[in-house]
C-alpha cells in the first residue's frame, strides 16, 4: 500500500496552505519568512491573501491555486489549518480535495494543524495511508500573538520518518514536540484545552472577587505572578484581552467549546468523569448563548460583571 520510501526523501520546499484564518495567515507568513514557497488555496478572506501576496518578495514566494487538489499537485506537503473535523474532511476528501492532487509532483504528505478529535485524525490518516500518502497531526498552542512571532508550541503525532520530514517546516512556525503516533498531537492539544478552559474561568472568577473587594487588579496580578496561583492565562493572555477591554483577535470562545466537546466526548468513551470541564463547557455555552461565541474566550469575564449591584 505504502509508496517506496525513497520517493519521499527530498526536503520539502513547496508548501500548500489551506486555511488562512486568524492562525493560518501568520503561520503562512512564518513559512515565507523562512524561505518556503507557499501555495495557498483561493481563500474567502481576500485580505489575508492580498497581505501575503504583498510580502511574497521578502524571502520565500507566494502563489494561489483554485482548490486543494491543485494546491497538492504543486507542492511537497499540504498544511491544513481549519476550524474543525468536517472542514478538514472537506479539504482532504471533498470535491477537488487535496487527496486528488497528492502524489503528482508532490511527495504526498498532509500536515493537519487544526484542533480536532484524535479519533478523527486517525480516521483521516487511515484513508490517506490507503492511497499511499502520509498524515501528521500537528495542532498548536499560543494564539495569534505567538503565531505572528513564529513561536508556537506544536504538538505532533506522526511516525518517526514523517516527523523528520516535516520538522523543518514546523520549526519555521514554532517548537515542534513529537509526542507519539498519529492522534497523539491532538490528544495533548485537548489536554491543553481542558486546562486553559478552567484556568480562564478560575482567573476571571478570582479577579471579579478581588475587584468587588476593592483590590487593585494590577497589583493583584503582580503578586499572584510570584505565588502558587501563577499561570500563563493570567499573566500573558488576560492583559491583552479582557483586562485591556477588548475581546478581538484572541481565541474564539465557540472554538474552545468545540475543543471541550471533543474532550468530553473522548472522556465519555474512556469512562473518565471530568466534572470541572463539564461545568466549564456549560458556562462557556451560556456565554455563547448571550451572543459572545465569536469573541475571545476571556469574554467569560462578562459573566461576572453585572452581579452584586444593588
Cell 451572543: give the residue. Answer: 291
Q: Return the number of the residue (106 or 157) whose C-beta is nearest a second copy.
A: 157
**Smallest separation, CB 187 to a second copy (Å):** 5
Cell 477588548: give the residue. Answer: 246
Q: Return the number of the residue (3 or 148) whose C-beta is nearest a second copy.
A: 148
**Smallest separation, CB 33 to a second copy (Å):** 21
Contact 124, 89 (CB under 8 A): yes
Catalytic residues: 189
Q: Return the number of the residue (244 or 279) whose C-beta is nearest a second copy.
A: 279
**Smallest separation, CB 118 to a second copy (Å):** 7
Measuring CA to CA, how many Å separate 96 from each of 37, 67, 92, 154, 155? 22, 6, 8, 28, 28
User: Of 284, 9, 296, 291, which is closest to residue 143 (Cα–Cα)?
Assistant: 296
The secondary structure of residue 252, as a DSSP letter, is B
Joined grid coordinates for residue 233: 492565562
Contact 37, 65 (CB under 8 A): no
**Smallest separation, CB 149 to a second copy (Å):** 13
Cα dihedral across residues 190, 252, 72, 131: positive or negative: positive
Q: Return the number of the residue (17 or 297) whose C-beta is nearest a second copy.
A: 297
Q: Return the number of the residue (130 or 265) whose C-beta is nearest a second copy.
A: 265
Contact 180, 55 (CB under 8 A): no
Residue 8 sits at φ, ψ, to 5 deg, of -105, 5
Residues that bind a second copy (CB under 8 A): 118, 141-143, 153, 155, 175, 177, 179-180, 184, 187-188, 190-199, 201-203, 205-210, 212-216, 219-220, 222-224, 226-234, 237, 263, 266-267, 270-277, 279-280, 283, 304, 307-308
**Smallest separation, CB 218 to a second copy (Å):** 11
Amino acid at each position: 500500500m505504502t509508496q517506496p520510501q525513497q520517493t519521499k526523501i527530498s526536503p520539502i520546499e513547496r508548501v500548500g496552505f489551506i486555511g488562512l484564518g486568524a492562525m493560518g495567515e501568520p503561520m503562512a507568513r512564518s513559512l515565507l519568512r523562512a524561505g518556503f514557497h507557499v501555495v495557498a488555496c483561493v481563500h474567502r478572506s481576500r485580505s489575508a491573501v492580498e497581505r501575503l501576496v504583498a510580502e511574497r518578495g521578502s524571502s520565500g514566494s507566494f502563489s494561489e491555486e483554485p482548490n486543494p487538489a491543485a494546491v497538492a499537485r504543486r507542492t511537497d506537503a499540504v498544511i491544513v489549518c481549519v476550524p474543525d473535523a468536517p472542514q478538514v474532511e472537506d479539504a482532504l476528501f471533498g470535491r477537488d480535495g487535496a487527496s486528488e492532487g497528492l502524489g503528482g509532483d508532490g511527495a504526498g504528505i498532509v500536515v493537519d494543524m487544526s484542533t480536532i478529535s484524535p479519533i478523527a485524525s486517525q480516521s483521516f490518516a487511515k484513508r490517506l495511508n490507503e492511497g499511499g500518502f502520509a498524515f501528521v497531526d500537528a495542532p498548536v498552542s499560543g494564539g495569534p500573538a505567538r503565531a505572528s512571532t513564529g513561536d508556537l508550541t506544536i504538538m505532533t503525532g506522526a511516525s518517526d520518518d514523517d516527523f523528520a520530514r516535516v520538522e523543518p517546516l514546523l520549526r519555521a512556525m514554532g517548537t515542534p514536540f513529537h509526542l507519539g503516533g498519529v492522534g497523539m498531537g491532538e490528544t495533548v492539544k485537548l489536554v491543553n484545552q481542558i486546562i486553559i478552559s478552567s484556568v480562564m474561568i478560575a482567573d476571571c472568577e478570582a479577579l471579579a472577587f478581588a475587584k468587588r473587594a476593592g483590590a487593585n487588579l494590577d497589583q493583584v496580578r503582580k503578586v499572584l505572578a510570584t505565588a502558587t496561583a501563577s499561570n500563563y492565562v493570567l499573566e500573558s493572555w488576560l492583559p491583552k484581552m479582557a483586562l485591556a477591554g477588548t475581546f478581538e483577535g484572541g481565541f474564539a470562545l465557540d472554538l474552545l467549546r468545540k475543543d471541550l466537546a471533543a474532550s468530553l466526548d473522548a472522556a465519555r468513551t474512556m469512562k473518565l468523569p471530568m466534572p470541572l470541564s463539564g461545568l466549564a463547557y456549560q458556562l462557556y455555552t451560556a456565554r455563547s448563548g448571550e451572543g459572545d461565541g465569536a469573541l475571545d474566550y476571556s469574554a467569560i469575564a462578562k459573566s461576572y460583571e453585572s452581579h452584586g449591584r444593588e
